[in-house]
Amino acid sequence: MTTPRPYVLLSAAMSVDGYLDDTSADRLLLSNADDFDRVDQVRAESDAILIGATTMRKDNPRLLVNSADRRSKRVADGKPEYPLKVTVTASGDLDPSLKFWHHGGEKLVFTTDSALDAVQTNLAGLADVVSTGPALDWHAILDELGRRGVGQLMVEGGATVHTQLMAADLADEVHLAVAPLLVGDPAAPKFLGAATYPGGSTARMKLLEARAVGDVVLLRYAPKDRT
């Protein structure tokens, strides 16, 4: 019997013109306090949270469930206090001093055959490391997460990871928090990059919800019919 893959939920905050950040040294905060709390709730409901290595290097996040009440509920429900934290890297360029490794619960790294030994040595005692072969393979990643009991995977970026999952038709749901800001810098990262997407410009996604969260608008979409 095949183990089911996780439900893949892409989560991003972006400006009205589609940017995830600007090009300044400081992180552009697009969400407001209420939306950060909403994201914390989604994290608490997820079995694993994934970010790409580039996002980890740039933002140095802890990637935690911040609410003590939500963590307590996870424990009461028989889950670990924190979701599994996951990253992917083709190059193996991962700094063991980053906050990601030193906060929260278990960590898991997916990498390639060529980088496997270096990543295992670099992160000894900090994370479990798995190779998906000569290249990063999202199908193999989701299969492995399913075998590890991950029912819902929350993907928090960055642009390359979101683009690859959408292009591979592997996203089940998308959460976009649209902030009333304009970035206008073509060098800044966008939510999605250039790619060949399933159905292209003729495939309309299904709107699941549109809701104001303070001055931010949450848009929830299903990229394809899952029924």
Lowest mean pLDDT among 32-46, 96-110, 126-140, 184-198: 184-198
Do residues 170 and 65 make contact, with C-beta atoms less than 8 angstroms apart?
A: no
Is residue 68 scored above 80 in pLDDT?
Answer: yes
The answer for 192, left when phi > 0, alpha when psi is -120 to 50, beta otherwise, is beta
What is the amino acid identity at position 170? L
Name the phi and psi angles at 96, rounded to 5.
Answer: -70, -10
Q: What is the pTM of this model?
A: 0.95
Is residue 130 scored above 90 in pLDDT?
Answer: yes
DSSP 8-state class, residue 2: P
- Ordered strands of the 216-222 beta sheet: 128-131, 107-111, 84-88, 48-52, 152-155, 7-15, 173-179, 216-222, 206-213
What pairing do the DSSP bridges indicate for beta strands 173-179 and 152-155?
unpaired
Query: Average pLDDT for residues 97-117, to the nearest whole number?
Result: 97
Query: Is the previous residue joined to 158 through a cis bond, with omega within 30 degrees of 0?
Result: yes
Q: Please state the domain extents for the chain.
A: 7-222
**Fold assignment, 7-222:** Dihydrofolate Reductase, subunit A (3.40.430)
Query: Residue 225: its pLDDT value, please?
Result: 61
Q: How far is CA 77 from CA 1, 70, 71, 105, in A?
A: 26, 11, 10, 16
Cβ-count burial of 154 within 10 angstroms (0-12 exposed, 13-18 middle, 19+ buried)?
buried
Cβ-count burial of 179 within 10 angstroms (0-12 exposed, 13-18 middle, 19+ buried)?
buried
- Percentage of the chain beyond pLDDT 90 is 89
